[in-house]
Amino acid sequence: GLTYLVFPGAVHTRFEHSLGVYRLAGEAMNNLQKYQGNELGIDRIDVQTVKLAGLLHDIGHGPFSHLFEHEFLPRVNPGSTWSHEHMSALLLDSIVDKHSIDIEPDYLKVIKEMIVASSDVSTAEGVKEKRFLYDIVANGRNGIDVDKFDYIDRDCRACGIGSNFQHWRLLEGMRVMGDEICYPAKDYLSIHKLFTTRADLHRTVYTHAKVKAVELMLVDALVEANEYLGISLHADDPEDFWKLDDTIVKSIETAPNDELKKAKEIIQRIRRRELYKFCNQYSVPKDKLDHFKNITAQDIVCSQITSKVLLKEEDVAVSNVKIDLTRGKDNPLESIKFFKDFGCEEKFPITDERVSHLLPVCNQDRIVRVYAKKPELVEAVSEAFENLQLRMYGEKTQVHDTPTKKKRRFN
């Protein structure tokens, strides 16, 4: 996405990531074949299938990564259920047809099912043989997969974020028991680090306040340009979709002078680093998480009581950030089975309290951030945001008020 504008080292692409997942998928299969190959009936086709699923699992991503899927499409197509996993499967069909690739239909079907396994768990649940193969690349059962192994290591290194998660321990220790991949009980905390490191990346990098500011601006520009460029129309047809890439920004900038004026202005502001101004944020109280609904710009504007400026919805941008351990409010480790030692046949779950009392009791954060689209509106937006918290929770839940200097700097 646009993370590299804040973290200059984050210039790696999904191409490198896909090669990494391909390699790790091969390592996982080689380890299972080495220790349980005869028992599980793992053959050459199984290895190739899992590796190809790893190589191709992300080809369906749109321009600017998750921004296209989770921010842009819901704005122009409310209620959109589009996913990059399903587009990956559609693109795979298109590639095979277009280039007349000689591949067995059943073989192709399994690769596609493995790709969508994380977003469509029912697909994998209906598999009668070798169900465990569907948990290696995109694990919808408990979230442990080589996709995370690669991007966590890769992103931590590129962004200068420390990580002591060691994926090789899990690759070496995994065993299949009852058609389910299980792990040594001693690796419980290593698995916990996988999920907490991922959550740290979301909090520190992917949803960094300035990263989100740039994303909010680009989404506004894409929405403005959508009718003229027909961006969202390409999202349903794999023959058109592959043409969409980050050069869409250049298409906006080179459009005729009378077209896309507002979109062009936003792009120029991004290039000059004149971003939407971050005002403040708050974490949703723990006892309010279950019934929380995303805050909108309208909610902020309607909370304005007194101010020198009358806010409008187009003056405010809101980012609703959700950070969890992959299972919402639930602990993903509760879905994982463990074994005592190699050679043991019994698998069992482990609860947090059996391991450590220092592990978190809550597995989800919801953070609301508010931005002023014009610098002179920081004070008015900040006051309205505080009023919203008082109205919803009876108190200000933000850590501190917006600094006075920040309010006055732009007035």
| CATH at 135 | 1.10.3210.10
- Give me the pLDDT at residue 245, please: 86
CA atoms within 13 A on the CB side of 43: 2
Are 169 and 288 in the same domain?
A: no
Query: Is the residue at 351 inside a domain?
Result: no
- Give me the pLDDT at residue 388, please: 97
Tell me how far apart the alpha carbons of residues 318 and 407 are, in angstroms, rounded to a whole number.
18
Mean pLDDT of 132-142: 95
Cβ neighbour number for residue 240 with a 10 Å cutoff: 12
Mean pLDDT of 73-99: 95
Are 13 and 123 in the same domain?
A: yes
Asked whether residue 1 carries a pLDDT value surpassing 90, the answer given is no
- Give me the pLDDT at residue 121, please: 66
Query: Is the residue at 56 inside a domain?
Result: yes
Are 80 and 192 in the same domain?
A: yes
- Give me the pLDDT at residue 122, please: 60
Mapped to the 3 state alphabet, what secondary structure does the chain carry?
Answer: CCHHHCCCCCCCCHHHHHHHHHHHHHHHHHHHHHHHHHHHCCCHHHHHHHHHHHHHCCCCCCCCCHHHHHHHHHHHCCCCCCCHHHHHHHHHHHHHHHCCCCCCHHHHHHHHHHHCCCCCHHHHHCCCCCHHHHHCCCCCCCCCCHHHHHHHHHHHHHHCCCCCCCHHHHHHHCEECCCCEEEEHHHHHHHHHHHHHHHHHHHHHHCCHHHHHHHHHHHHHHHHHHHHHCCHHHHCCHHHHCCCCCCHHHHHHCCCCCCCHHHHHHHHHHHCCCCCEEEEEEECCHHHHHHCCCCCHHHHHHCCCCCCCCCCHHHEEEEEEEEECCCCCCCHHHHCCEECCCCCCCCECCCHHHCCCCCCCCCEEEEEEEEECCHHHHHHHHHHHHHHHHHHHCCCCECCCCCHHHHHHCC
Are 189 and 297 in the same domain?
A: no
Q: pLDDT-based confidence at 243, cuts 50/70/90?
A: confident
Q: How many domains are contained in the chain? A: 2
Identify the domain containing residue 107 by its residue range.
Answer: 3-208
Q: Which CATH number covers residue 289?
A: 3.30.70.2760
The CA-atom distances, in angstroms, between 57 and each of 132, 221, 404 are 17, 28, 48
Q: Using an 8 Å Cβ cutoff, are 324 and 313 in contact?
A: no
Query: Is the residue at 242 inside a domain?
Result: no
Q: Which of 160, 183, 208 is the last residue of a domain?
A: 208
Per DSSP, what are the bridge partners of residue 277? Answer: 372
Query: Is the residue at 160 inside a domain?
Result: yes
Q: Which of 154, 179, 208 is the last residue of a domain?
A: 208
- Give me the pLDDT at residue 249, please: 93
- Give me the pLDDT at residue 123, please: 65
Q: Among residues 61, 84, 167, 192, which one is catalytic? A: 84
Are 194 and 101 in the same domain?
A: yes
Query: Is the residue at 394 inside a domain?
Result: yes
Q: Strand order in 181-184's β-sheet?
A: 175-176, 181-184, 338-339
Are 88 and 199 in the same domain?
A: yes
Q: Which of 147, 175, 208 is the last residue of a domain?
A: 208
Contacting residues for 7 by C-beta, under 8 A, at least 6 apart? 158, 159, 160, 205, 208, 211
Are 162 and 41 in the same domain?
A: yes
pLDDT > 90: percent of the chain? 88
Q: Label the pairing between strands 364-372 and 277-283.
A: antiparallel
Question: What is the chain's mean pLDDT, rounded?
Answer: 94
Are 195 and 293 in the same domain?
A: no
Asked whether residue 304 carries a pLDDT value surpassing 80, the answer given is yes
Tell me how far apart the alpha carbons of residues 254 and 64 are, in angstroms, rounded to a whole number.
19
- Give me the pLDDT at residue 411, please: 57
Are 290 and 189 in the same domain?
A: no
Mean pLDDT of 243-269: 90
Are 48 and 183 in the same domain?
A: yes
Over residues 309-361, the pLDDT tens digits come to 999 999 999 999 999 999 999 999 999 999 999 888 899 999 999 999 999 88
Asked whether residue 410 carries a pLDDT value surpassing 90, the answer given is no
Are 200 and 60 in the same domain?
A: yes
Tell me how far apart the alpha carbons of residues 203 and 200 are, in angstroms, rounded to a whole number.
5
Over residues 14-44, the pLDDT tens digits come to 999 999 999 999 999 999 999 999 999 999 9
Mean pLDDT of 135-141: 94
Query: Is the residue at 252 inside a domain?
Result: no
Query: Is the residue at 250 inside a domain?
Result: no
pTM: 0.94
CA atoms within 13 A on the CB side of 224: 21
Q: pLDDT-based confidence at 5, cuts 50/70/90?
A: very high
Query: Is the residue at 346 inside a domain?
Result: no
Over residues 194-211, the pLDDT tens digits come to 999 999 999 999 999 999
- Give me the pLDDT at residue 330, please: 93
84 given a catalytic annotation: yes
Are 202 and 318 in the same domain?
A: no
